[in-house]
Amino acid sequence: MSDPAWLSYSLQDFLMFGPEVFLRLFARINQDLWPWQLLVVPLSLIVPWMAGRPEIVWRRLALVIVAAAWILSGGGFLVNYFGEINWPAVWIGWAFTVQGGLLAALAVTRGCPRLSIGRTGWFAAFWLAAVVLLPWLTVVQSGEPTTLALFGLSPGVTVAASVLLVGGFGRATFWLLLPVPITWVLFSTATYWALQTQWLLLLPLATLASLVAGVWLSPRPVQSPGPQSAHHGPVRR
Amino acid sequence: MAKHLTRRQLLVGAGLSGLALHAPGLFAMHGNTQLPAPIRRAVPSTGERLPAIGMGTWITFNVGSDPYLIEQRTKVLKTFFDHGGSVVDCSPMYGSSADVLGRSLDALGARDQLFAATKIWTGDESATREQAESSRRKWGVERFDLLQVHNLLGWQGHLETLKAMKAAGEVRYLGITTSHGRRHGEFARIMETQPLDFVQLTYNVLDREAEARLLPLAQERGIAVIVNRPFQGGSLFRRFQSEPLPAWAGEAGVSTWAEFFLKFIVAHPAVTCAIPATSSVEHMQENMAAMYGELPDEQQRQRMVAYVRSL
Ligand SMILES: NC(=O)c1ccc[n+]([C@@H]2O[C@H](COP(=O)([O-])OP(=O)(O)OC[C@H]3O[C@@H](n4cnc5c(N)ncnc54)[C@H](OP(=O)(O)O)[C@@H]3O)[C@@H](O)[C@H]2O)c1
């Protein structure tokens, strides 16, 4: 690897598949998993409601859904579909399943982090925008409705939506949960850039925006009690 | 391969009727009574004559287990064989390409037409045989015609094993590859010192670095040359396709940009074959047309270089 010849490689030189083949992966997973989408879509839509409930059981369930989405999109899309044409995707797929395992453990031990009171509506809006609008980017890119990239089946939408929750965890957990989404953002940006699938570049961008939004949505410890905090004081983490 | 020439000629005949529809000028030149002879080049170490246009599989055949795309690529491979093609190049580096090739070859039952060329691509110099065997199973061939050390990775160890495999009849030819003009100095030293049958390198109308040393050396040492990236990974089309061909193109045997790029390459006396890759049947037809008709002479080749430079 110290060979200076490596300097002459461009991003395109590492790309081992074409855009048509990549976009068909979404059509294939949709076809192969049908009719499980009828369960996956409603589950993805009720996450904000569950996450906003005060009862811990609902917040556990919300996180279980998110954990399952990571495991499914990692072990399914990345390992079994994308991995066939791009071997690094297999490693990332396994990292997704580990992340899913971590989230499942957090679901059992803590449940979904509580949202900042007054911002649950924002959370729902961001979440629904991610799981309802982002899946269409692959459709716009390919011109094929069958390539809809659903939350839980496709990694891009799964990561973009679920990082909204990452900011709500305590600092140590936050840092623990960050590397896989960031790796995915870098990997997918490089892939979409090399494939020249411009619409798909909005996915990693949305993920970064979602990460920032997640931090904003999370309750912060109060330093100085003010008039607002009397009514809308943050919930302790 | 040689024992199956008759069957191949038949298939070429069938395929050329398609080519005639696609490139009628070609057949007017040769008349319809006789099949035009494809351009073939001899492998210096044996004299075996190979069709001058082969097929690469980087990116284009890496379609995983997608049945629709496998069927589509099978049509591309069928078009290649129908037009007289034989040399197919792959590598363990190309993802699922070898598996897809194997499935396409199964579907076509066309292994007797094939000159099977793949590569050894592993830093583990003791894994040559193991990797060749894994590729052989994927392709479903009895043995490879050509095994090449990919990008010189672990070349010392791999070449020693390949020599032993060739002596034992486990492979017919051995070689080394490079691309994008990389490591030409070391490549030349290996050509000078090792008993190679083939080298594979990048050469096209825009990337002519190989003309300086490697191509003359191949001629001098009697080494066959496979040319990769004949379209510079497709960028030659993106750059020049919207431009007109020069008015004198017909005199050089050229009627499309694909022919322009490919005939420029195969007209070089050191070149044995070029291996363009495509995922499209139409492009394959266009590319295979370059294996028929006139070739540019040296003066015309110089005009070709000057013309693309002027664009
Ligand atoms: N180090 C090495 O050993 C090494 C390195 C590089 C390459 N190689 C070998 O050499 C082969 C060829 O190189 P390559 O695949 O990198 O690049 P290439 O053959 O120069 O270009 C392939 C590109 O050209 C396009 N194309 C082909 N025919 C066309 C036509 N008639 N009209 C318009 N576009 C056309 C293809 O797109 P469509 O699919 O749309 O037709 C594809 O994108 C490889 O497949 C591989 O087998 C070996």
Each residue's pLDDT tens digit, A55-68: 999 999 999 999 99
Give the minimum alpha-carbon distance from B159 to chain A in angstroms, rounded to a whole number. Answer: 21
Other residues' Cβ atoms within 10 Å of the Cβ of residue A98: 13
CA distance B246 to B279: 27
A16/B279 CB distance under 8 A: no
Record the pTM: 0.90
| Distance in Å, CA B170 to ligand 1 centroid | 29
The domain tally of chain B equals 1
In sequence order, which ranges of chain A are alpha helices (DSSP H)? 19-33, 37-52, 56-72, 83-85, 88-109, 120-128, 136-142, 155-166, 171-177, 179-195, 202-217, 227-232
Other residues' Cβ atoms within 10 Å of the Cβ of residue B105: 22
Q: Of A211-220, B81-90, B151-160, which range is least confident?
A: A211-220
**Residue B35: predicted pLDDT:** 54
**Residue B3: predicted pLDDT:** 38
In angstroms, the Cα distances linking A152 to A71, A101, A134, A191 are: 8, 14, 13, 20
Contacts by residues A46-54 (CB-CB < 8 Å, ≥ 24 positions apart): A47/A127, A47/A131, A47/A161, A48/A120, A48/A123, A48/A124, A48/A127, A48/A128, A49/A124, A50/A112, A51/A112, A51/A115, A51/A120, A51/A123, A51/A127, A51/A165, A52/A115, A52/A120, A52/A123, A52/A124
A111-158 confidence digits (pLDDT tens): 888 877 778 899 999 999 999 999 999 999 999 999 999 999 999 999
Q: Say yes or no to pLDDT of B4 above 50.
A: no
**Residue B209: predicted pLDDT:** 96
**Residue A5: predicted pLDDT:** 58
Q: Work out the average pLDDT over B145-157.
A: 97
Read off the pLDDT band of B181 (50, 70, 90): confident
B58/A5 CB distance under 8 A: no
The answer to whether A16 and B58 have CB atoms below 8 angstroms apart is: yes
Q: Say yes or no to pLDDT of B26 above 70.
A: no
Q: Is residue B50 part of a domain?
A: yes
The domain in which residue B228 lies consists of: 9-310
B94-130 confidence digits (pLDDT tens): 999 999 999 999 999 989 999 999 999 999 999 999 9
CA-wise closest residue to A197 among A152, A121, A137: A137
In chain A, domain spans = 16-217
Q: Which residues partner with B193 through β-bridges?
A: none
**Residue A218: predicted pLDDT:** 80
CA distance B105 to B29: 33
Dihedral of the alpha carbons of A48, A54, A56, A58, in degrees to the nearest 10: -30
DSSP symbol at A116: P
B288 lines ligand 1 (CB under 6 A): no
Q: Say yes or no to pLDDT of B207 above 90.
A: yes
Here the CATH number for the domain that contains residue B154 is 3.20.20.100
Read off the pLDDT band of B31 (50, 70, 90): very low
B187-205 confidence digits (pLDDT tens): 999 999 999 999 999 999 9
**Residue B13: predicted pLDDT:** 43
Q: What percent of chain B has pLDDT over 90?
A: 87
Residue B232 CA to chain centroid, in angstroms? Answer: 14
For helices B155-167 and B128-139, angle between their N-to-C axes, nearest 10 degrees: 60
Which residues of chain B make contact with A3, given a CB cutoff of 8 A?
A: 183
Read off the pLDDT band of A11 (50, 70, 90): confident
Q: What percent of chain B has pLDDT over 70?
A: 89
**Residue B8: predicted pLDDT:** 40
Q: What percent of chain A has pLDDT over 90?
A: 76
Q: Is residue B248 part of a domain?
A: yes
Chain B residue nearest residue A32, CA to CA? B66
Q: Of A117-121, A232-236, B291-295, which range is least confident?
A: A232-236
| Distance in Å, CA A180 to ligand 1 centroid | 34
B96 lines ligand 1 (CB under 6 A): no
Give the minimum alpha-carbon distance from B69 to chain A in angstroms, rounded to a whole number. Answer: 8
A87/B64 CB distance under 8 A: no
The answer to whether A194 and A11 have CB atoms below 8 angstroms apart is: yes
ipTM of the complex: 0.87
Q: Say yes or no to pLDDT of B30 above 60.
A: no
**Residue A155: predicted pLDDT:** 98
B129-149 confidence digits (pLDDT tens): 999 999 999 999 999 999 999
* Strand B40-42 relative to strand B198-202, pairing: unpaired
Other residues' Cβ atoms within 10 Å of the Cβ of residue A47: 27
**Residue A12: predicted pLDDT:** 84
Q: Is residue B260 part of a domain?
A: yes
Q: Is residue B281 part of a domain?
A: yes
Read off the pLDDT band of A236 (50, 70, 90): very low
Query: B48: helix, coil or strand?
Result: coil
Read off the pLDDT band of A6 (50, 70, 90): low
Query: Given CB atoms, is A2 within the 8 Å cutoff of chain B?
Result: no
Q: Say yes or no to pLDDT of B20 above 80.
A: no
User: Which of A13, A16, A84 is the closest to B65 by Cβ?
Assistant: A84
In sequence order, what are the residues at sequence separation of 6 or more whose Cβ sits closer than 8 angstroms to the Cβ of residue B21?
Answer: none
- Strand runs (DSSP E) across chain B, as ranges? 40-42, 49-51, 87-89, 115-120, 144-149, 171-177, 198-202, 224-228, 273-274
Query: Given CB atoms, is A198 within the 8 Å cutoff of chain B?
Result: no
Q: Say yes or no to pLDDT of A101 above 90.
A: yes
DSSP symbol at B86: -
Please give the helix or strand (H or E) that residue B134 lies within, else none.
helix B128-139
**Residue A93: predicted pLDDT:** 98
User: Which of B59, B68, B233 is the closest to A16 by Cβ?
Assistant: B59
B191 lines ligand 1 (CB under 6 A): no
Other residues' Cβ atoms within 10 Å of the Cβ of residue B124: 13
Q: Is residue B2 part of a domain?
A: no
**Residue B147: predicted pLDDT:** 98
Which ligand 1 atom sits nearest the alpha carbon of residue B283? 31
Q: Residue for token digits 């879509």?
A: A41
Query: Given CB atoms, is B128 within the 8 Å cutoff of chain A?
Result: no
A201-210 confidence digits (pLDDT tens): 999 999 999 9
Q: Which amino acid is at B48?
A: E
Question: Taking the CA atoms of chain B, what radius of gyration do you get in angstroms?
Answer: 19
**Residue B34: predicted pLDDT:** 55
